[in-house]
A and B are shown apart, each in its own frame.
Chain A
Amino acid sequence: MSRDTALVSAEWAEKNLDAPGVVFVEVDEDTSAYDSGHIAGAIKLDWKTDLQDPVRRDFVNKTQFEALLSERGISNDDTVILYGGNNNWFAAYAYWYFKLYGHRDVKLLDGGRKKWELDARPLVTDTVTRPATQYVAGEPDTSIRAFRDEVVAAIGTKNLVDVRSPDEYAGRLLAPAHLPQEQAQRGGHIPTAISVPWSKAANEDGTFKSDDELRKIYGEAGLDDSRETIAYCRIGERSSHTWFVLQELLGHDNVKNYDGSWTEYGSLVGVPVALGDEPGEA
């Protein structure tokens, strides 16, 4: 994968709003932004109600994903362009998800909703409906998804990349600073994880930095790309952003997203936790 296949610019998107076989999808945790104005023709996916199982802590299974995409009118041959708020966090999560279920052609809109709004590009409030399809998903590709035992085993052996803010990494904050800090789990990070906040990879308008800048950032942070890499954050959406950068933009082929992330790891009994600004010992 590379920037040319995984990313489209706002200019490209605005010229291809009506292109046949191209489906724009806004992905957010709170879809009130979509309801107040969205890219013309875009449908919405709700990170929580559409993409998470309503009972178990897991994402939707193959059958549920097929039903969702069929009902929203996305077919296997469509080019899916994902975008959203929060610097494309949830759109990147959905991208990872579409890849996990084997969708062939999916791309992120560079800069997401923020760049689109700051550029004063048009948003509409029309209701969008697409004819239902018969979507067929692949078996989940677990080569891009890490589970907790694998993460514990990776301490001191694989690259662990903590993409939360420095204060969350150190244990001084338990959640991103736009949310209240009262949480059940312990603060800190997985021992030996390097700290490379997701935001290092993005410009302030939400677009991704250049490949050269990105290579420099992860190289200087000590990421050894000959080893497997597991990225994590708090709930797995910011680490999807970093997974996207490493695997889809820079072309690493051995990167997993740990979507359990700190809300799972920081609640596990008996696992090691490191505090402070240093990675810590295995």
Chain B
Amino acid sequence: MTAPTAASTAAGCAAPDQAAPLPAGLDLERETVITGVVRSVQGEAVAGAYVRLLDSTGEFTAEVVTSPAGQFRFFAAPGAWTLRALSRQGNGDTTVTAGRGINEVTVTVTD
């Protein structure tokens, strides 16, 4: 018997813990990671914000909830993306042109 590693990865669609380290074995030559922090205008990290990844046509692609330190992370593809954050402190969005590897972005929310 072999452990069903691939199957367990494929089984889920829920957003993983945003504070967790990048998964072991992740190939950054292939993956396009868009990661960063949601901040208030005062510069404080916003925990529990909903961050939506929208494609170049504005279509929804994925959504995660920020960690206690305000962090979020997506596994996308190279190209232009919009990050839109919704929170009790307000909403905001930022665009990014992502390439392979890690792309860091800050999204600021305002009332």
Contact = CB atoms under 8 A, between A and B. Distances in A.
Query: Taking chain A's interface residues, is the majority helix, strand, or loop, or is none over half, making it mixed?
Result: loop
Given A165-B55, A167-B55, A204-B52, A177 B75 contact: yes
Contacts of A114: 50, 86
A162 interface: no
Contacts of A89: 13
A180 B23 contact: yes
A204 B15 CA distance: 17
Contact of A165 (B6, B17, B61): B61
Contacts, number: 112
A165 B57 CA distance: 12
Contact of B14 (A28, A166, A172, A197): A28
B74 to A, nearest CB: 5
A173 B52 CA distance: 17
B62 A235 contact: no
Contacts of A173: 76-77
Contacts of B43: none
Interface residues of A, number: 42
B75 A180 contact: yes
Nearest to A165: B61
Contacts of A177: 53, 61-62, 74-77
B21 interface: no
A178 B52 contact: no
A183 B10 contact: yes
Contacts of A87: 63
A188 to B, nearest CB: 15
Given A181-B31, A182-B27, A205-B86, A176 B11 contact: no
A14 B56 CA distance: 38
Interface in A50-93: 52, 85-87, 89-90
A120 interface: yes
A90 to B, nearest CB: 7
Contact of A179 (B17, B50, B59, B75): B75
B65 interface: yes
A269 interface: no
Contacts of A117: 48, 88
Interface of B: 6, 9-17, 23, 26-27, 30-31, 48, 50, 52-53, 55, 57, 59-65, 73-77, 84, 86-88
25 contacts: A29-B12, A29-B13, A48-B11, A85-B14, A85-B65, A167-B55, A173-B76, A176-B61, A177-B61, A177-B75, A178-B15, A179-B13, A179-B16, A179-B75, A182-B27, A183-B6, A185-B10, A204-B52, A204-B84, A204-B86, A205-B86, A235-B13, A238-B13, A263-B10, A263-B11
